[in-house]
Amino acid sequence: MKTALSLIAAAMLTGLALANNQAPALKFDPLPYAYNALEPHIDAQTMEIHYSRHHRAYFNNLVKAVEGTPLAGKSLEEIMPQISKWPDAIRNNGGGHYNHDLFWKVMSPKGGGLPKGPLAKQIDAAFGSFEKFKELFKQAALTRFGSGWAWLCVADDGSLFITSTPNQDNPLMDVVEKRGTPILGLDVWEHAYYLKYQNLRGAYIDAFWNVVNWPEVAARYKKAL
């Protein structure tokens, strides 16, 4: 009896130890600021619906989609470069989760202003000036027909480029035309701006610059090199 109980206790402890050692590969991080923190540029109602319903649904559906596949326990960074091998549910929800997680973190109520340091120099080198960069990024965001994302990315050789992707695709995926590491992303799905801006996607893009978290983008640039 005593032995049986010890065995059960030991099994339970082993189970706990395993659970503790397995950091969840997929996690739904808290929004790094309040829903109303980006006002007036992005309104509280849009933020609440976008984060707690849209992003949450992508995350929950991704967890379900990878369950029982060899992708279970893998990180998003491991999943994205082999996305073409998996069903659309993993592409759409995996991209949906990765893209929104990045999007929340590259914005801040203390955002705006100008990039600094090596990133600022590289933006000037790649696009001519910060103003020209904003113009080209806006163009990419405006001309993405339907739903998708605009990106500032780091290429394999360390250079910067602007691109856009449809739906929830992103430049880490092996299905896009030009691959790279995204360091800044803008969601141009209507759910990201329609309540406040209706059909005026351009006004939403212009407002975005007031909340860009440049120190975070610079940190992602450094890490990508």
Query: Residues interacting with Mn ion, by CB under 5 A?
Result: 187, 189, 192
- Candidates 25, 129, 112, 2; CA nearest to 76 is 25
Please say which residue, 189 or 221, places its beta carbon nearer to Mn ion: 189
Q: How far apart are CA 143 and CA 201, in angstroms?
A: 10
CB of 47 to Mn ion, least distance (A): 11
Please say which residue, 127 or 189, places its beta carbon nearer to Mn ion: 189
Residue 89: partners with Cβ closer than 8 Å, 6 or more residues away: 61, 65
Q: What token pair was written down for 161? A: 């480029």
Residue nearest to Mn ion (CB): 187
Please say which residue, 140 or 160, places its beta carbon nearer to Mn ion: 140
CB of 59 to Mn ion, least distance (A): 12
Please say which residue, 56 or 74, places its beta carbon nearer to Mn ion: 56
CB of 58 to Mn ion, least distance (A): 8
CB of 123 to Mn ion, least distance (A): 25
What's the per-residue H, E or C state across 49-112?
HHHHHHHHHHHHHHHHHHCCCCCCCCCHHHHHHHHHHCCHHHHHHHHHHHHHHHHHHCECCCCC
CB of 38 to Mn ion, least distance (A): 14
Please say which residue, 92 or 163, places its beta carbon nearer to Mn ion: 92
CB of 149 to Mn ion, least distance (A): 9
Please say which residue, 189 or 197, places its beta carbon nearer to Mn ion: 189
CA distances from 98 to 26, 62, 198 (A): 10, 10, 25
